[in-house]
Amino acid sequence: MSNPTKLKILIPILIVAFFCAHAWHKHEQRQNDITGTLQGRELDEISGIAASSINDNLYYIENDSGDTSRFFSIDPTGKVHATIYFKGNLKLEFGVMDCEDIAVGPGPIQGKSYLYDGDIGDNYSDRQSLTIYRLEEQKAWADTGIKHAIAIPLHLKYPDGPKDAETLMIDPTEKLIYIVSKRRDSVGIYTTPLLYKPNDTVTLTLHGKLFFQGIKPFKWITAGDISKDGTQILLRSYDKVYYWQRPLNEPVWKVMLTQKPQELPYTMEKQGEAIGFTPDGKGYYTTSEGVYSPIYYYKIPGK
């Protein structure tokens, strides 16, 4: 075959290959996209992210140990809209000990949306009780500036002794609060009813334990979320994201204990301790501790 003939065949093949590669690259970008960075040096210990149910394109984040009783509203670019303060425990210097995760879901009044802030961190496993704060979501949290909100506390105890946890989830279907522990070789799945009286103290129910392959501390569970329609579940460690699809009327704890999770796309972060579904459940965001950390968006395969 002559060189001119070879070129006539080769050039179209190269062009097709180039466009295929470009299309695949764009596909990969859609699966994993940096939408922005956390803006502001005070956002340096982020542990938790949850989508608002009443404000479009708005998410809530918080710092863990060392910060006061507050959280922030941001958009996916990382721009801070509001800083929301609430009254925590007056006996504590900062009002809270170690807020590690944040969730949004239903509450005592039908048709309203609530934010749940989990003061559940316990690095030394010596806290005699934990506290979750429930706050009614406000439209004004999408505005800029300082806001103040009323928080209704619930105090929790483990049935099997103190332990560290960084995962708080709200099941909108069975109206349950979920906590998944962090540091042990196998992590516990605990629940308590979503509806409670102010300042109640309750003992969590242990449903079972999950074991994940890997090396400590990378395999420790650092965050989780349940989609707003209750059909999808996420847990994350420092190096993996685990995903379950929930069959109709199956308890979340049972799904996690009986079904093998799918591992979803994830880019290793500095110290990733936040994950949250988008409101439509078609994707999720992650971010990490550290000043100006990137915010990653991932599309859930098949959604």
Whether residues 13 and 83 share a domain: the answer is: no
Whether residues 22 and 44 share a domain: the answer is: no
DSSP state of 260: P
Apex 227 CA angle, 282 and 171, nearest 5? 170
Whether residues 11 and 133 share a domain: the answer is: no
Whether residues 31 and 111 share a domain: the answer is: no
Judge whether 156 and 202 are in contact, CB under 8 Å. Answer: yes
Whether residues 187 and 237 share a domain: the answer is: yes
- Closest by CA to 45, choosing from 17, 67, 60, is 67
Whether residues 217 and 291 share a domain: the answer is: yes
How many distinct structural domains can be found in the chain? 2
Judge whether 122 and 162 are in contact, CB under 8 Å. Answer: yes
Whether residues 5 and 96 share a domain: the answer is: no
Label residue 74 exposed, middle or buried (CB < 10 Å: 0-12, 13-18, 19+).
buried
pLDDT at position 13 is 36
Apex 265 CA angle, 40 and 294, nearest 5? 10
pLDDT at position 303 is 87
The whole domain housing 56 covers: 38-299
Whether residues 17 and 110 share a domain: the answer is: no
Whether residues 17 and 138 share a domain: the answer is: no
pLDDT in tens, 155-182: 999 999 999 999 999 999 999 999 999 9
Whether residues 104 and 9 share a domain: the answer is: no
Whether residues 10 and 110 share a domain: the answer is: no
pLDDT at position 32 is 67
Q: What is the CATH number of the domain that holds 276?
A: 2.120.10.30
Three-class DSSP category at 83: strand
Give the DSSP per-residue string, 1-21: --HHHHHHHHHHHHHHHHHHH
Pairing status of strand 200-203 against strand 152-157 = parallel
Which segments of the chain have a pLDDT < 70?
1-32
Whether residues 76 and 15 share a domain: the answer is: no
- Closest by CA to 59, choosing from 43, 80, 75, is 75
Measured CA to CA in angstroms, residue 293 lies from 34, 101, 118, 127, 221 at distances of: 10, 17, 22, 30, 20
Other C-beta atoms closer than 10 Å to the C-beta of 8 total 11
